[in-house]
């Protein structure tokens, strides 16, 4: 066989390099938005045997929600009475006071219910973390055919502690960012509310995206800088994926069944982004063409 001239080899190399650029841009916002649905199909339809990884967190979360809302429904009137006893009296003024008291009762119940949902969501995230890690690893194994490290009890305990610590840290970071923004909207009328809404949507969607690609990223030893680079370089697909997760996790009851789909979708998204190539600052230089 005759080797091609060096000039031809260089031209071919340039053409291949140029042709590879669009491949790095194939995943945009709407492509990322579809990954939660891909995860749902992967978990619930294509591989129903994965139920052994996600059924226990759902059962535990369901029990927590049942207990919380049973207590809320049973005792909310007593809690309201402890703060403000039911008004008495006749006439218009008595009716007004009882109406305001009823509104206060419903408002207090709503606030307590919202707070309970946040607490349960945080607990569910921590409880489900080790199971989600195992689910993500199994999704990757079935998608790539490459198995993970052999199972050991020590590794399971170590990974569980690490995963729970990471989940708590992420929740704290989210609260540190969003709580000041929540307060700011009351300090700056109208503009503050608009900023809080816009920033909150983008930041929360990005947070969910990072949260649900965390499992495969952790298995590859990604540090904070590399994770930040992943978001920066693949912002649109990450934002689209996070928006899809946000949409379903905000729907009561549906969010219970959707978390496994988000874990699988995040793993599939990470694998596809990984197939598109390393980040520019970490990509290895292409080997030079042999000289004639």
Q: How many domains does the chain have?
A: 1
**15 domain-assigned:** no
Q: Answer whether residue 262 shows pLDDT above 80.
A: yes
User: In this predicted structure, what is the pLDDT of residue 22?
Assistant: 35
Cα-to-chain-centroid distance, residue 100: 39
Q: Answer whether residue 203 shows pLDDT above 80.
A: yes
Distant-in-sequence contacts of 271-276, Cβ < 8 A, 24+ apart: 271/140, 271/143, 271/144, 271/216, 272/27, 273/27, 273/230, 273/234, 273/237, 274/216, 276/23, 276/24, 276/26, 276/27
Handedness of CA 62, 64, 69, 75 (dihedral sign): positive
The DSSP output letter for 47 is -
Task: Dig out the tokens for 285 from the structure.
Answer: 């230089």
What's the mean per-residue pLDDT of the chain? 75
**266 domain-assigned:** yes
**179 domain-assigned:** yes
For 134-192, the DSSP string reads HHHHHHHHHHH----PPP-HHHHHHHHHHHHHHHHHHHHHHHHHHHHHHHHHHHSTTHH
Number of helical H runs and strand E runs in the chain: 11, 0
- 285 or 143, which is more confident? 143
Cβ neighbours of 292 (radius 10 Å)? 9
Average pLDDT over residues 135-154: 77
User: In this predicted structure, what is the pLDDT of residue 258?
Assistant: 84
Tokens 């596809």 label which residue? 272
**217 domain-assigned:** yes
The pLDDT tens digits of the residues spanning 149-161 come to 554 556 556 666 7
User: In this predicted structure, what is the pLDDT of residue 26?
Assistant: 60
Burial track 63-80 (b if 16+ CB lie within 10 A, e otherwise):
ebbeebeeeeeeebeeeb
Which residue, among 242, 240, 233, has the nearest Cα to 210 in the 3D structure? 242
The pLDDT tens digits of the residues spanning 107-121 come to 777 777 766 766 776
- 147 or 50, which is more confident? 50
The pLDDT tens digits of the residues spanning 22-41 come to 334 466 889 999 999 999 99
Evaluate if pTM is beyond 0.75.
no
- 151 or 147, which is more confident? 147
User: In this predicted structure, what is the pLDDT of residue 14?
Assistant: 34
User: In this predicted structure, what is the pLDDT of residue 36?
Assistant: 93
**177 domain-assigned:** yes
Average pLDDT over residues 95-113: 76
User: In this predicted structure, what is the pLDDT of residue 257?
Assistant: 79
Pairwise CA distance, residues 201 & 120, whole Å: 21
Domain that residue 127 falls in: 27-136+152-275
**66 domain-assigned:** yes
Predicted confidence band at 269 (pLDDT cuts at 50, 70, 90)? very high
**118 domain-assigned:** yes
Predicted confidence band at 85 (pLDDT cuts at 50, 70, 90)? confident
**281 domain-assigned:** no
């Amino acid at each position: 066989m005759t080797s091609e001239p060096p000039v031809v080899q260089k031209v071919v190399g340039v053409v291949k390099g140029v042709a590879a650029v669009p491949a790095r841009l194939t995943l945009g916002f709407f492509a990322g938005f579809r990954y939660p649905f891909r995860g749902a199909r992967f978990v619930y339809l294509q591989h129903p045997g994965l139920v052994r990884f996600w059924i226990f967190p759902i059962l535990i979360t369901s029990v927590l929600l049942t207990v919380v809302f049973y207590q809320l429904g049973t005792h909310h009137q007593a809690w309201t009475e402890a703060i403000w006893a039911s008004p008495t009296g006749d006439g218009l003024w008595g009716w007004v006071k009882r109406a305001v008291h009823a509104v206060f009762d419903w408002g207090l119940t709503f606030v307590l219910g919202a707070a309970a949902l946040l607490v349960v969501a945080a607990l569910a995230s921590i409880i489900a973390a080790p199971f989600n890690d195992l689910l993500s690893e199994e999704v990757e194994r079935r998608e790539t055919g490459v198995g993970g490290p052999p199972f050991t009890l020590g590794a399971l305990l170590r990974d569980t502690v690490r995963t729970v610590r990471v989940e708590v840290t992420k929740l704290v970071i989210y609260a540190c960012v969003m709580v000041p923004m929540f307060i700011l909207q009351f300090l700056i009328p109208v503009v503050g509310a608009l900023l809080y809404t816009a920033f909150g949507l983008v930041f929360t969607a990005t947070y969910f995206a990072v949260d649900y690609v965390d499992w495969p990223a952790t298995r590859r030893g990604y540090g904070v800088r590399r994770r930040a680079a992943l978001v920066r370089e693949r912002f649109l697909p990450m934002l689209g994926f996070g928006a899809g997760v946000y949409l379903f996790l905000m729907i009561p009851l549906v969010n219970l069944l959707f978390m496994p789909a988000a874990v699988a979708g995040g793993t599939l998204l990470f694998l596809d982004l990984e197939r598109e190539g390393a980040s520019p600052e970490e990509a290895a230089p292409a080997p030079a063409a042999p000289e004639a």
